[in-house]
Amino acid sequence: MKEHKYYLYITTNPRKTCLYIGVTNDLARRLEEHFQNRGNIHNYAGRYYCYNLVYFEEFKYINKAIAREKQLKKWTRKKKDWLIDMKNPDRNILNAQFPYIRLAG
């Protein structure tokens, strides 16, 4: 039986001035999509170059991940910064933990 994994994640831009919160079942793929979408004015993450992962949580059930996303989106920037700093105080870019491997074809 396949175990499901869902991720609540927070990305930031290279200057670390903007935050983007999202949910996905494939964090590596989603980070690659954010990177490829950089500069796209039609969405927030693209417009503000939010492709650097600074925080994530793993969930077994999608409804729990979505509920957490909704909760965090209501938080102030100060509270979001506090959450990130609790797990990643140096604001290291965590993308390398989720390498995206493109398959030929």
Contact between residue 71 and residue 63 where contact means Cβ atoms under 8 Å apart: no
Domains of the chain, first to last: 6-97 (3.40.1440)
Residue spans of the chain under pLDDT 70: 1, 101-105
pTM value > 0.75: yes
CA 23 vs. chain centroid, Å, equals 7
pLDDT of residue 101: 62
Q: What does the pLDDT read at residue 90?
A: 95
Q: Positive or negative, the Cα torsion across 18, 23, 27, 33?
A: negative
Residues 6+ apart with CB under 8 A from 12: 18, 19, 20, 50, 52, 54, 91
